[in-house]
Structure 1
Amino acid sequence: MRKFLAPALIAMMALPLAACGGDGDDALAERVEDNAEERADAAEANGATDAQADAIEDAGEARADAIDDADVNAHAMSNEQKLDLITNDQAVVPQ
């Protein structure tokens, strides 16, 4: 999994961290979902069950919904804070 995670993180950091319009929460939430999907795919490739992969995706979708519902102002966040929300399931969604 580490072989996949490092290149994925590098690729995500190279992407623009803010979307046009609004507070950027929609784009940030989408990136959280995309990251969860990539992690679920990697987990399956490394032998995880479908249920385990589905749980990873479901957790990502729930985090994305929480970001969107909280109307997070992604433009006011540092790149490190955004990356933490995208990659860390334990990161607290700002209210």
Structure 2
Amino acid sequence: MNKLLVALGLAATVALVGCDKDKAPETGATTGEHLEGAANQAGHDISNTTSEAANDTATAMDNAADATAEAANTAADRAENAAEDAKEAAKDATAATAGAVENGAANVKERAQQ
């Protein structure tokens, strides 16, 4: 009895599935047409995603290039400022040394005159 019920259940399932395949979808398109449409849509989706990824990558590269250029300019400005500071320090040191030498010479001259 159980085998008969299982066989009838399988037959009913096959009949329903078979009828469902023969029946046209609600849009009137065949299953093949639906699959073709889905494949076309997937192709467009992949193309759009690839294009968006390329644009995002280009934007990121532009931003990185801008940031690198800005960092290079900042470093150049700081190096220029450091060089100017070093130049001023060298002038001050030279002036201080010259003053010390003149002062020492004056002291020697004064002692020599005494």
What TM-score comes out, normalization by structure 2 length? 0.24
Which structure is higher in helix share? Answer: 2
What TM-score comes out, normalization by structure 1 length? 0.28
